[in-house]
Amino acid sequence: MKRRSEKRKAAKRLDAIDRASVPIFVVTMLVEAAVLRRREQRRFGDLDQATAEELSDPRLPPDQLVPVGFESRDTAASLAMLGGNVVFDMATAAALGRTLRFLSRHRVVNLGDRRGSFVVSLVLWDFLYYWNHRWMHEVRLFWANHVSHHSSERYNLSTALRQPWSGFLLSWVFMPLPVVGLTAAQARRARQINLLYQYWIHTEAIDRFPRPVEAVFNTPSHHRVHHGANPQYLDKNYGGIFITWDKLFGTFEPEVRRVKYGLTKNITTHNPARIAYHEFADIGRDVVSARGWRNKLGHVFHRPGWSPKSPPADHPSPE
């Protein structure tokens, strides 16, 4: 009975906004596809042979935005990833809920009852999301979860739905919210709004907004950079709603060169299971073959691309 009750509670998390989002996703993707079909499109893979200098040359004037467009198998893979994400999130929701309730009972302040608490929850969630997102690029174990979102070589609204299946690995990042007294409902709404905001910025149908908007908010232009494998775009623009976090913490990069989407070493598959778990498998192989516990742990917790022979200085993740 208890297990059934927990499942019903998890199902209730799919509120009216969640249920409405599905038809909204379908309609907006169809509209985007129709808009992009009327525009000049790039040849798929047009930057595969480009050199690092060609992808990053700051001496050239900014490139015009020319979209890559949709491809049916790529879109189907992204939708399959979304389905798996929902299933795995619901499977872990009960355990996470118990943890959050425990933390809420031991809160140090009670911001949830104060005026403006909703705005506080939105801003605090976005701040924590910045670090959550950054650590997913800087720690290989966390990157193994996030890499699936970067695995498409296209960039459209369906790419936003290419969500990972191991999000529980970083659920602890958002646990300060109940500690400061924000309620579970406020945290859920902040998460929901943050995710929905990031949906629409996954598009090449919008070029750039006026400068004041681009200065404060995450936009399609800023997020295209984040999905780029161009050398100067690697590990940049982590913000969810606000790009100001990147400007504060030194990870901002403007869109100048045309974006080469995907990974530096693309996996060329539409199989959802491989998309979700290929990096975990690679970590396992590296750990087994490594000598010594320090090197084994390094393959798990250092930056993506780390090896025992890597230079000590920081370097961007290769994927």
pTM: 0.92
CB 177 within 8 A of CB 125: yes
Query: For residue range 246-275, what is the model confidence (pLDDT) as tens digits?
Result: 999 999 999 999 999 999 999 999 999 999
Task: Estimate the crossing angle of helix 184-200 against helix 16-37, to 10 degrees.
Answer: 10
Residue 311 included in any domain:
no
Task: Estimate the crossing angle of helix 293-301 against helix 272-289, to 10 degrees.
Answer: 160
- What pLDDT does 311 receive? 59
CB 84 within 8 A of CB 276: yes
99: its two tokens? 């943890």
- 198: nearest Cα among 113, 290, 251, 133: 133
Amino acid at 296: K
The number of domains in the chain is 1
In this structure, of 44-53, 125-134, 243-252, the range with the lowest mean pLDDT score is: 44-53
What number is the average pLDDT over the span 205-234? 98
Residue 13 included in any domain:
yes
CB 279 within 8 A of CB 147: yes
Q: Which residue has the tokens 């192989």?
A: 285
Range of the domain at 222: 2-42+61-301
Count how many residues are written for the chain. Answer: 319
Residue 48 included in any domain:
no
Residue 65 included in any domain:
yes
